[in-house]
Chain A
Amino acid sequence: MLSTSVAVLRLAWQSVRRRPLSSFLTALVVALGVALVVAVETVRASADRSFTETARGYDVILGPPQGSPLQIVLSTLFHVDEPPGTLPWSAYDAIRKDPRVAAAIPYAMGDTYRGHRVVGTVPAMFEVLTDGEGRALQDGMRGRLFGEGRFEAVVGSVVASRTGMGIGTTFGVSHGLVEGGQPHKERWAVVGVLRPTGTAHDRAISIPIATFYAIPGHTVPDQEEEARPLSAVGVRLKSPALRLLILQESRTGKAEAQAVLPADQVRKLMAIVGDVNQGVTIVAWIVTVVAAVSILVGLYNTIQGRRREIAVLRALGARPAHVFGLILLEALILCLVGGAFGLLLGHGAVAAAAPTLLGSYGVRVDVGIGGHDLQMLGALVVLGLLAGLLPAWRGLTTPVADNLQAEP
């Protein structure tokens, strides 16, 4: 009967409230577990996405013949790891002229400014590369792109916030990809600042590739343009389906460069990172399950002290199912109240950290409640019911007459 069910629910709620401290602590443990799951899942999903989507800008990357494909992808797209060597400018010329190629972007790397990587490239890079939402890097930037051959620079948002660089700032670079290298005397002026994109370019400084070669030591004097060294060439094809053909040709062609498929390399990387991520997710879930077990233990122990109350309810007309439902509902209330609090806490923490993560680390996290949270609530209902089962059974089997006798 409806009014009876409502009454049982009310009774369960009052019973949970009667033990404020123990109920609060139990719900808090659940909340922390859930918040942990939410935070880990959000960051994991965001990292996965940003990794996978950053790799989407190029169909193929040409790198030096030596060095592993993963190293080439990491150094070119994510600006971690050093470029494993160089390939000659002629390789760039050749691929640029290939009719199947929509865009080819050269990269020359090897210098830093206060720990931030300096990338010699062409302005087209900011159009070809996109962020996780598919917007070109140049969209929404302040200032303008550098002009070819001019001593101008475009800096990422993290570089700007960490170094205080803005439009008009001039700076020099030092040799090497680690701090403390030999300073060069050339000076560049910042002409543009990118919006936070959540990509590696938030942490990088880009300069025209011609000015990179103007730095003494980067080219041998009077070197033929053909022989100038490049770190990599990012290639966008007119049809992504052609990438396997290009890969094939690279293997059989001249050994001055190797072609790698960034999507494949990122997939391999994600497979490794994914295991770690999964481990972290499992740990977060274990915390939540432990919380559910604490509900079970806490509730189970209260039944001993509530035998008289249960017996009285039975004497007053409660059916066995009412007693069972009462205790099950108490477990469910603790689990769901804790869970709802945990969802708020988790999403709140992620939302609070999101601007910092993007601004200071260039990591874009997706803020907001999603379908994953519904799954989480569903899982909590199941956990709550499981946690309540044993205590409820104990309540159900509490003898009535024996527990009504005179003294407690």
Chain B
Amino acid sequence: MSAEIVAELVRVERVYEMGEVLVHALDGVDLQIERGEYAAIMGRSGSGKSTLLNMMGCLDRPTAGTYRLTNRDVAELDDDELSSLRGRTLGFIFQAYNLIPHLTVLENIEVPMDYAGVGPRESRERAEALAERVGLGDRADHRPTQLSGGQQQRVAIARALANDPSLLLADEPTGNLDSSTGQEILDLLTHLNEAGTTMIVVTHDAKVAGQAHRTIHMLDGRVDRILVRP
């Protein structure tokens, strides 16, 4: 029995026009992400890993090839449909946390549920449970500026989980953290994966990639090689 495919890229290309020059940021990427998987994407800057993440996060569209997220071809969706697909099936974790500064911890966690049309009562209950789950139950009414970097990233993780996403995308999640706090965040991500969350982490840090089942190395807009952890 083959595993369920959450995300599938088939010969995906992304070409930018820089004046007269065409830049092939992605140059025919084939990739499948299975449900429950923990994958890392590595590569030097300019290798196309950020473009690949944007593509998988539906923040960008392929100029050629096909990207299917939970069996829906992204090319067939308009802006509104893409926005709601993003909000309901994806979770984002950023290097700079990107919390909304004037909202409390709970309010930040509620944002994706607000846009997904979850009612206020249910959304409050889920936000409280998620804050508890990332260990910030006692900080629910704090604002981001009152939290440490590690705590802010925990809020971001809780927010990413708000709509129970099919795929969680993390871009250098420990990039702004010291090593011990970074390790705590990695442990949290590993726990989440063990609990069933499908996860893709973009990183240049081998230690971060070491937590993943598979490491996809990018080079010049192509998948260079894929290492599977024994």
Interface residues of A (CB under 8 A from B): 1, 3-4, 6-8, 11, 14-15, 17-18, 308-309, 312-322, 400-401, 404-408
Contacts and interface: CB of A to CB of B under 8 A. Distances in A.
A315 B93 CA distance: 10
Contact of A312 (B57, B79, B98, B118): B98
B115 A317 contact: yes
Contact of A321 (B59, B80, B100, B110): B80
A1 B111 CA distance: 15
Contact of B84 (A309, A313, A315, A317): A317
Contacts of A405: 50
Given A316-B111, A317-B112, A401-B54, 18 more contacts: A4-B117, A11-B111, A312-B100, A313-B111, A314-B59, A316-B86, A316-B87, A316-B92, A317-B83, A317-B115, A317-B116, A318-B115, A320-B79, A320-B83, A400-B59, A401-B59, A404-B171, A406-B95
B39 to A, nearest CB: 20
Given A4-B117, A313-B111, A316-B115, A408 B79 contact: no
A238 to B, nearest CB: 72
Interface in B73-87: 79-80, 83-84, 86-87
A8 B117 CA distance: 11
Contacts of B80: 319-321
The 10 A-B residue pairs with the shortest CB-CB distance in the complex, in nearest-first order? A317-B87, A7-B114, A18-B102, A317-B115, A1-B117, A401-B59, A319-B83, A401-B54, A316-B112, A406-B95
Contact of A315 (B57, B101, B116, B175): B57
A120 B100 CA distance: 78
A3 B50 contact: no
B179 to A, nearest CB: 18
Interface in B33-78: 50, 54, 57, 59-60
Given A18-B101, A320-B80, A406-B96, A4 B86 contact: no
A313 B110 CA distance: 11
B103 interface: yes
B114 A11 contact: yes
B120 interface: yes
A4 B110 CA distance: 11
A15 B163 CA distance: 23
A210 to B, nearest CB: 80
B126 interface: no
B108 to A, nearest CB: 10
B59 A17 contact: no
A309 B100 contact: yes
A312 to B, nearest CB: 5
A44 B59 CA distance: 57
Nearest to B172: A406
B114 to A, nearest CB: 3
B181 to A, nearest CB: 17
Interface centre among A8, A316, A401, A407 (most CB of B within 10 A): A316
A4 B115 contact: yes
B96 A407 contact: yes
Nearest to B60: A401
Contacts of B84: 317, 319
B159 interface: yes
Contact of B118 (A3, A15, A308): A3
Contacts of A401: 54, 57, 59-60
